[in-house]
């Protein structure tokens, strides 16, 4: 495979140089579609906006496998100095989705040219993973009705883990992420005469303090959750008591029931705290990505294949869960499957730079092991008989 991987390193760098934001991945989607067509895939475009599905059917087998890659970049200005650096000011592939796309394209070619299998392969290239729920957009556009899958897989690179090492986890592996805006409405007035007001600053301070008890007092200590107040805005001047205060929260959980509990308790606490200060609370709760849950059989299969390919020393099947979130979780709510982590480079190497950092870059050395795992997965899941 190695001799042919150069093409996909060049392709990765080309995608890197031309980053596109959520639902604007027109160039990337066209490139993906062209390549897939050239290798014999039936290509469907414009699914959920800029999503692309490549279909390859062989034999009479009834099994259907889906593998997904994400294509979008981020509104971050890339650190200068890279030959293949972003040519679009203020945009960059800072999460490695350029690499995930190139890896799946490499697999697409090797599978089409080398593999005898029996069944249907759906390669899913999705838009807008970064906060805009491109996976959900594709599903609402009929992804799994048009392209049914018995199992679905995806991978993400992880900085700080040795390049080409694979991490797996069964069950809840990444957190749900909900965004909440709380508006406190009181009565403004002169800072010298607080008795004539309903002070939203004091109410907001009490709300922030009360929210700290949700994780410490309501969530089972053996479960985990995050309630972060990331923004708090009120007032302009020291002698004016403001009418309004606004809080922005990020709420995360690794369990569907904990997620529901957080919503219930935060709503109650905010309403009751506000009422105790004669302040009105308006809560805008926007559900983001769900908890990402890997199913046991599909995780075991991929981990076993990784162990056969790369050896047990490069495969961890007990990876710790992450409080970050990922919209592949929507697909895993509908279809069994597994989200695979592949190391981007260990501590002290360039690959260790955190995603979403201006200095981050996808490690080209992990395209090959990623493509090998996908190819092997197709060979095994859609095993040709005889
Ligand atoms: Zn990201
Ligand atoms: Zn990402």
Across residues 123-129, what is the average pLDDT?
98
Q: What's the whole-number average pLDDT of the chain?
A: 97
CA separation for the pair 283, 314 (Å, rounded): 46
Q: What is the pTM of this model?
A: 0.93
The band of 186, judged by pLDDT with boundaries at 50, 70 and 90, is very high
What are the DSSP E strand ranges found in the chain?
A: 42-47, 51-58, 64-70, 119-126, 151-159, 166-167, 171-174, 176-185, 189-190, 225-234, 240-241, 244-253, 280-287, 292-294, 315-316, 337-345
The band of 2, judged by pLDDT with boundaries at 50, 70 and 90, is confident
Whether 28 and 101 have beta carbons less than 8 Å apart is answered as yes
Residue 1 has pLDDT above 70, yes or no: no
- Ligand 1 midpoint to CA 142 (Å): 25
- Ligand 1 midpoint to CA 95 (Å): 5
- Ligand 1 midpoint to CA 372 (Å): 24
- Ligand 1 midpoint to CA 206 (Å): 33
Which ligand is located closest to the Cα atom of residue 135? Answer: 2
State residue 96's pLDDT score: 98
- Ligand 1 midpoint to CA 171 (Å): 21
What residues pack around ion ligand 2 (CB closer than 5 A)? 95
Residue 301 has pLDDT above 90, yes or no: yes
- Ligand 2 midpoint to CA 98 (Å): 10
- Ligand 1 midpoint to CA 336 (Å): 23
**Cβ–Cβ contacts within 10 Å for residue 45, how many?**
15
What DSSP string describes 307-348?
HHHH-GGGEESSPPPBSS--THHHHHHHS-EEEEEEEEE-TT
CA separation for the pair 244, 271 (Å, rounded): 15
Radius of gyration from C-alpha coordinates of the chain:
24
DSSP 262: H
- Ligand 1 midpoint to CA 172 (Å): 19
Dihedral of CA atoms 241, 244, 248, 253 in degrees, nearest 10, equals 100
| Nearest partner of 320 among 117, 221, 172, 199, judged by Cα | 172
CA separation for the pair 340, 173 (Å, rounded): 10
Cα distances (angstroms) measured from residue 116 to each of 122, 171, 201, 298, 385: 16, 32, 67, 21, 10
State residue 55's pLDDT score: 98
Phi, psi for residue 153 in degrees, rounded to 5: -130, 155
CA separation for the pair 335, 250 (Å, rounded): 27
Cα distances (angstroms) measured from residue 127 to each of 6, 48, 347: 25, 8, 30
State residue 385's pLDDT score: 72
- Give, rounded to a whole angstrom, the gap between the first and last alpha carbons of the chain: 24
Q: What is the pLDDT of residues 329-386, one digit of tens each?
A: 999 999 999 999 999 999 999 999 999 999 999 999 999 999 999 999 999 999 987 5
| Nearest partner of 301 among 374, 384, 386, judged by Cα | 374
Which ligand is located closest to the Cα atom of residue 157? Answer: 2
Which ligand is located closest to the Cα atom of residue 355? Answer: 1
Chain centroid, CA 160 distance in Å = 18
State residue 349's pLDDT score: 96
Across residues 39-46, what is the average pLDDT?
98
- Ligand 1 midpoint to CA 324 (Å): 9
- Ligand 2 midpoint to CA 23 (Å): 15
DSSP 384: P
State residue 232's pLDDT score: 98
Across residues 311-328, what is the average pLDDT?
96
- Ligand 1 midpoint to CA 208 (Å): 28
State residue 3's pLDDT score: 84
Which ligand is located closest to the Cα atom of residue 154? Answer: 2
Whether 38 and 23 have beta carbons less than 8 Å apart is answered as no
CA-CA-CA-CA torsion sign (163, 168, 173, 179)? positive
State residue 114's pLDDT score: 94
Cα distances (angstroms) measured from residue 313 to each of 298, 307, 376: 21, 8, 19
% of the chain exceeding 90 in pLDDT: 98
% of the chain exceeding 70 in pLDDT: 99
CA separation for the pair 137, 154 (Å, rounded): 17
Q: Give the three-state DSSP class for 148.
A: coil
Q: What is the pLDDT of residues 100-115, one digit of tens each?
A: 999 999 999 999 999 9
The band of 275, judged by pLDDT with boundaries at 50, 70 and 90, is very high
- Ligand 1 midpoint to CA 4 (Å): 28
What DSSP string describes 201-235?
HHHHHHHHHHHHHIIIIIS-TTS-EEEEEEEEEE-
- Ligand 2 midpoint to CA 365 (Å): 18
The band of 210, judged by pLDDT with boundaries at 50, 70 and 90, is very high
The band of 16, judged by pLDDT with boundaries at 50, 70 and 90, is very high
Across residues 306-316, what is the average pLDDT?
98
- Ligand 1 midpoint to CA 139 (Å): 20
- Ligand 1 midpoint to CA 356 (Å): 6
Cα distances (angstroms) measured from residue 343 to each of 150, 153, 155: 27, 17, 10
- Ligand 1 midpoint to CA 355 (Å): 6
State residue 30's pLDDT score: 98
- Ligand 2 midpoint to CA 130 (Å): 7
- Ligand 1 midpoint to CA 2 (Å): 28
- Ligand 2 midpoint to CA 201 (Å): 37
Phi, psi for residue 25 in degrees, rounded to 5: -80, 55
- Ligand 1 midpoint to CA 325 (Å): 9
Q: What is the pLDDT of residues 81-98, one digit of tens each?
A: 999 999 999 999 999 999
């Amino acid at each position: 495979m190695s001799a042919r991987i150069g093409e996909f390193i060049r392709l990765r760098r080309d995608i890197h140089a031309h980053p596109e934001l959520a639902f604007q991945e027109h160039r990337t989607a066209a490139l993906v579609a062209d390549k897939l067509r050239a290798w014999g895939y039936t290509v469907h475009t414009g699914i959920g906006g800029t999503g692309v599905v490549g279909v390859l059917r062989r034999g009479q087998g009834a099994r259907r496998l889906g593998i997904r890659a994400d294509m979008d970049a981020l509104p971050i200005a890339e650190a200068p100095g890279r030959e293949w650096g972003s040519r679009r000011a203020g945009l960059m592939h800072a999460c490695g989705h350029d690499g995930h796309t190139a890896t799946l394209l490499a697999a697409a070619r090797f599978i089409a040219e080398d593999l005898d299998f029996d069944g249907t392969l759906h390669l899913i290239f999705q838009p807008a993973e970064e906060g805009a729920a491109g996976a959900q957009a594709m599903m609402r556009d009929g992804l799994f009705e048009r392209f049914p899958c018995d199992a679905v897989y995806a991978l993400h690179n992880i900085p700080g883990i040795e390049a080409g090492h694979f991490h797996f986890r069964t069950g809840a592996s990444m957190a749900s992420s909900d965004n909440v805006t709380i508006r406190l409405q009181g009565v403004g007035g002169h800072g010298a005469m607080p008795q004539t007001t309903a002070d939203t600053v004091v109410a907001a301070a009490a709300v922030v303090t009360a929210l700290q008890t949700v994780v410490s007092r309501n969530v089972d200590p053996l479960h985990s959750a995050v309630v972060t107040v990331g923004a708090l805005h009120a007032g302009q001047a020291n002698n004016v008591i403001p009418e309004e205060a606004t809080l922005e929260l990020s709420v995360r959980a690794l369990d569907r029931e904990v997620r529901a509990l957080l919503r219930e308790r935060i709503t109650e606490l905010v309403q009751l705290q506000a009422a105790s200060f004669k302040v009105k609370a308006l809560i805008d709760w926007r559900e983001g990505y769900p908890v990402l849950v890997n199913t046991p059989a599909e995780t075991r299969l991929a981990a076993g294949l990784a162990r056969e390919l790369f050896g047990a020393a490069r495969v961890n099947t007990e990876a710790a869960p992450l409080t970050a979130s990922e919209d592949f979780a929507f697909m895993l709510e509908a279809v069994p499957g597994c989200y695979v982590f592949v190391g981007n480079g260990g501590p002290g190497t360039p690959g260790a730079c955190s995603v979403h950092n201006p200095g981050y870059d996808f490690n080209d050395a992990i395209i090959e092991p990623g493509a090998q795992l996908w190819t092997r997965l197709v060979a095994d899941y859609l095993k040709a008989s005889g």
